[in-house]
Amino acid sequence: MAQAAIDQDAHTDRALDGVLPSLRCPVSGQPLRREGSTLVSLDGRHRYTIADPGIPLFAVRPHLQASRIQQAHYDHIAPEYVRNLVLPHTRIYAAYLDEVLLDAIGADPPGFVGELCCGRGEAFHLLRTLAAGVPAGGIGLDISQAMLKAASGEFPREEFLFIQADATMLPLADEIFDTVFMLGGIHHVNDRDRLFAEIYRVLKPGGRFYFREPVNDFFLWRWLRSVVYRLSPTLDAETERPLRHHQTTAQLTRAGLEVIHWRTCGFLAYCIVMNSDVLLVNRLLRLLPGIRRITRAAARIDDWAVGLPFLRNAGLQVVGVARKPPATSSESPRIRSSRYRSIRPPIPAGVQRPHFGDASELEQPEISATGPSGA
């Protein structure tokens, strides 16, 4: 084995051992112990394979249909998805979207970070550039093992652990994160009450939830997306559900989170520059002389447009921040923990319990979907 591979194994091993106390069996909620390349619940009833390179598999066959569609989809398109992100115009426009997110983060130190639907670890990449300091470590979680492999290759440091699991059923202990990020994942999750209840549970009191997602409050985008989602052979309309302001605010509030920031960004240029998955012409833009300069100017115009009072909610993406209220002095962690148990939505009747098999099952996904998404 090459030295680099041995080093990577040692890092992921240490990362896993370091966060083991924060991991829980997603079915029973029990702590886990390690037996070689398996994690076992305390009562010994549930076992989870640790796949190469050190990625525990908690939801090989997820319990929700939407999660299974997404898993098959991203397992299939992961290499192309990662390749598209380095197109010059995509990078430049993404830098504008990142600025909007960094603005929302401001001087808040990230602390211990959870990135849900992390893909190749987009938030972890961004946090490296944070003025308020790099995160004190974190856990990246995604349903797609192929996306996680890409992520773990880019983060060989032991501060970050990547786990395969469903964002609606987190294999994590209560109150472990100072900050949770979701960048382009919420709109793929249909059961948002369950998702936000889980985010509330794993955040420490006073912790923050940052998200950046497609938003559909402007009629033109709503119409355009509904057409594209239905016509595109590469997208699945059932698992592409951009946010709406009133709905999302109500869902977050129901989960106990307080929305403290909502700003839309991205306008006309976004449609052309950021949809390399749907538009072939987008990929060809890289050949256009001066595309970097053009994209920079287009991003500035978009930013100006969504700054106009009558277009304030008309952006294609939203950057939002929700806060978990600080703990009250009369409430002990034990009381809070029992409250989490009572609000954690049960697995709906009739749906399959998560299946905990081995990684080889990923080679035969139940539902096949093709092409990247995130429009």
Ligand X SMILES: C[S@@+](CC[C@H](N)C(=O)[O-])C[C@H]1O[C@@H](n2cnc3c(N)ncnc32)[C@H](O)[C@@H]1O
Task: State the residues that interact with ligand X by CB under 6 A.
Answer: 67, 70, 74, 117-120, 122, 142-144, 147, 166-168, 183-185, 188-189, 373-374
Q: How far is CA 243 from CA 159, 192, 316, 317, in A?
A: 32, 10, 10, 9
* Separation CA 356–CA 350 (nearest Å): 18
Nearer Cβ to ligand X (146/285): 146
Nearer Cβ to ligand X (305/347): 347
Radius of gyration of the chain (CA): 20
Nearer Cβ to ligand X (122/303): 122
Nearest-approach distance from CB 197 to ligand X, in angstroms: 14
Nearest-approach distance from CB 202 to ligand X, in angstroms: 13
* Alpha helix segments (H runs only) across 203-276: 219-231, 245-255, 268-273
How would you class 371 by CB atoms within 10 Å of its CB: exposed for 0-12, middle for 13-18, buried for 19 or more? middle
Nearest-approach distance from CB 354 to ligand X, in angstroms: 11
> What is the end-to-end Cα distance of the chain in Å, rounded?
41
- CB 66, CB 188: distance < 8 Å: yes
* Separation CA 3–CA 192 (nearest Å): 43
Nearer Cβ to ligand X (77/285): 77
Nearest-approach distance from CB 200 to ligand X, in angstroms: 16
Nearer Cβ to ligand X (248/373): 373
Q: Indicate the residue whose CB is closest to ligand X.
A: 119
Nearest-approach distance from CB 2 to ligand X, in angstroms: 26
How many CB atoms within 10 Å of residue 210? Answer: 23
Nearest-approach distance from CB 130 to ligand X, in angstroms: 17
* Separation CA 201–CA 196 (nearest Å): 9
- CB 357, CB 253: distance < 8 Å: no
CA-based nearest residue to 183, from 111, 256, 104, 109: 104
Nearer Cβ to ligand X (22/70): 70
Nearest-approach distance from CB 67 to ligand X, in angstroms: 4
**Cβ contacts of 47 within 8 Å, gap of 6 or more:** 38, 39, 40, 41, 356
- DSSP class of residue 81 equals H
Nearest-approach distance from CB 120 to ligand X, in angstroms: 4
Nearer Cβ to ligand X (54/119): 119
Nearer Cβ to ligand X (118/322): 118
- CB 206, CB 325: distance < 8 Å: yes
Nearest-approach distance from CB 167 to ligand X, in angstroms: 4
Nearer Cβ to ligand X (56/301): 56
How many CB atoms within 10 Å of residue 326? Answer: 10
CA-based nearest residue to 151, from 116, 120, 114: 120
